[in-house]
Homo-oligomer: A and B are copies of this chain.
Amino acid sequence: MFQAKLKSETLKGVVDVVSTLIDEAKFKIDANGISLKAVDPAHVAMIDLHLDKAAFEQYSANDTELGIDLDKLRDVIRLAKSGDLIEMRQDEERNRLVIAVGNVTRRMNLVSTEGMSDPKVPNLTLPAKVSVNVEELQRGIKAAESISDHIALNANPDGFELISEGDTDLVSLKLPRDILVALDCKEPIRSLFPMDYFSNMIRAIPSGTVVQINLGNDLPLKLDFEIAGGKGRTKYLLAPRIEND
């Protein structure tokens, strides 16, 4: 059973970060809130999201699962004006989700969750932690995207750097310690990542969000940030690219 009301902005935030990696999502629902763990089709990245019931205006649920086509959810969000509430109700008998925004009701068949895996989020020990306002990264991404199809993330005790290097051009974003929200890094760390995944993740994070970047040498990247004004949390994991020097 699932019946809930939430602000359209909250739902939009969830759909934005999830749809960066997948088109259809299996949300696990229990009395405390909703959560999702998913791997993208190419198995390069993972998302681990939790939205607490406190993020909802109204929430009542038992253990259940909802398979949702995110494009349809996006359609519904587009109907909402800022501040509008979105109401969602599971129709268990017919395996449907009924969503209401103002006077509009949309009834949608749920997607089968049978084929959808339950990925295990690996327990990584990543030596460097960089906390930074996401806008800083978004500017760097905008500059770097056209240069190369991969991006290097570097951390050292003095700051954080993002470098994209092509045949003729190079873009770097250098964030010294005093611009960062926090920096925990004992020695120089460097990893290379696919540009498109990293860029899509960074763009999906709402401005004003502080992101914790967890890095190791040639280890996966973990991005960790709050959603829904602290009443939820998202973690992105991204596999590194091997450098061929």
State the CA gap A130–B179 with chains docked (Å).
Answer: 52
Residue in chain B with minimal CB distance to A105: B172
Residue in chain B with minimal CB distance to A172: B105
Residues of B within 8 A of A172 (CB): 104-105, 107
A107 touches B75 (CB 8 A): no
Say if the beta carbon of A82 comes within 8 Å of chain B. no
- How many chain A residues touch the partner (CB < 8 A)? 29
Say if the beta carbon of A72 comes within 8 Å of chain B. yes
Q: Given A103-B136, A103-B179, A179-B103, A76–B168 Cβ distance below 8 Å?
A: no
Residues of B within 8 A of A108 (CB): 168-169
State the CA gap A103–B142 with chains docked (Å).
Answer: 13
B139 touches A103 (CB 8 A): yes
A143 touches B174 (CB 8 A): no
B104 touches A139 (CB 8 A): yes
Residues of B within 8 A of A75 (CB): 143, 146
Residue in chain B with minimal CB distance to A167: B109
Within 8 A of B (CB), among A123-153: 136, 139-140, 142-143, 146
Residue in chain B with minimal CB distance to A98: B170
